[in-house]
A and B are shown apart, each in its own frame.
Chain A
């Protein structure tokens, strides 16, 4: 993730990772404005955590981002369950196709929210285009076992999805 081994100053780290971090969070958070808010929160935590500011800053940021997004998603899922607002927002009329896509997105998010935290993190980081080595660095895992862990996570995701929604 970092090209050099020496730590960069805050602004360089910010410019290097902000867009990727915001896009990663936006995959789980429905609202893009909220995703940017959470991304700012991640960088704010980073600024206040001196031990995160080193050559492994990228890994720390990805880990913090995926955990922040998952926490937000779980909180939202709980809220929706209690308030019976689990259906996607219907404030704007959408064509049938867009509605189906939104529904699938919601289903994927709900499955990720109930999946084991580590498995959801693996799937999201891998799905965001990170290599096995980068995923291992971000989650502080042995690079040799990342492939197996991702395969198990994919299996668990599929099983849970089919349990909740059947075959798409």
Chain B
């Protein structure tokens, strides 16, 4: 009688069992993960700090380039807002006759 596929496959796959003498070392693995977590957090903190430092540097440079506009905090904010989002020139007026033509 032929052995069913399930039994046959299980027999073959049983050969993959790791050696009985071996047992994984969770403490060492966890220590390695903690080390990577620390280094990952340091890297993220570095990126965030870098971004904040770059933003502050940009602000200082912009303020230094327009000292008069930055005489008061409100005018300074308005000045930068207009620099970043300049007002669009108004669209030229189209006479109604052109539209009806």
Q: Name A's B-contacting residues (CB within 8 A).
A: 11, 14-15, 18-19, 22-23, 26-28, 32, 35-36, 39-40, 43-44, 47-48, 101, 104-105, 108-109, 123-124, 127, 150-151, 154-155, 157-158, 161, 168
Chain A: minimal CB distance from B38 (Å): 12
Do A27 and B29 touch (CB < 8 A)?
Answer: no
Using known A-B contacts A18-B24, A127-B10, A157-B9, determine if residue A43 contacts B16 with beta carbons closer than 8 Å.
no
Chain B: interface residue count, which band? Answer: 20 to 34
Distance of A89 from chain B, by nearest CB (Å): 15
Q: Provide the B25-65 mask, 1 if CB < 8 A to any CB of A, else 0.
A: 11011101100110010000000000000000000000000
The interface residues of chain B lying within 8 Å CB-to-CB of A36 are 24-25, 28-29
Interface residues of B (CB under 8 A from A): 5-6, 8-10, 12-19, 22-26, 28-30, 32-33, 36-37, 40
Are B18 and A154 closer than 8 Å at their CB atoms?
A: no
Contact: B12 with A109, CB < 8 Å?
no
Pick from B9, B29, B33: contact of A123, CB under 8 Å? B9
Question: Which residues on the A side are within 8 Å of B14 (C-beta)?
Answer: 127
Bound: A14/B22 CA distance, A: 19
In the complex, which of the residues B6, B9, B10, B24 contacts A23, with contact meaning CB atoms closer than 8 Å? Answer: B24
**Cβ–Cβ contact B22 & A32, under 8 A:** yes
CA distance A62 to B32 in the complex (A): 20
